[in-house]
Amino acid sequence: MAYLKQTGLPFSSVYGAIVEEAQMTMPFMERKLRTTKCDRTGCIYCMFGIHLDQRPNRFERLRYTHPKQYQYCVEQLGCGKVLDFLEIPY
């Protein structure tokens, strides 16, 4: 992230912006970089750890960022049935 911020190279919009975040560590304060949207990406259809996601979860975001892939995943692949069983909103 530091390299992207320093050079201004373009990166995927799913990460949002790169911002500094102050964190208190003993005995001083550090500045760490984070993204304003996704902090990591992987397989777009992966449900591993979905129960740990904060709202909006990855499928709720997918619905708006990639509607065709969302529809394919939920309806064609059957992920909607799994998410229903797990009581995960999507």
**Mean pLDDT of the region 8-21:** 91
Calculate the average pLDDT of the chain. 89
Please give the Cα distance from 53 to 62 (Å, whole number).
13
Is the pLDDT assigned to residue 16 strictly greater than 90?
A: yes
Q: How far apart are CA 56 and CA 13, in angstroms?
A: 17
Residue 84 has pLDDT above 90, yes or no: yes
Residue 68 has pLDDT above 90, yes or no: yes
Residue pLDDT, tens place only, 41-54: 788 888 999 999 99
**Nearest partner of 17 among 41, 40, 35, judged by Cα:** 35
Q: If you search the block for the tokens 């709202």, which residue do you land on?
A: 55
- Is the CB of residue 37 less than 8 Å from the CB of residue 60? no
What is the pTM assigned to this prediction? Answer: 0.60
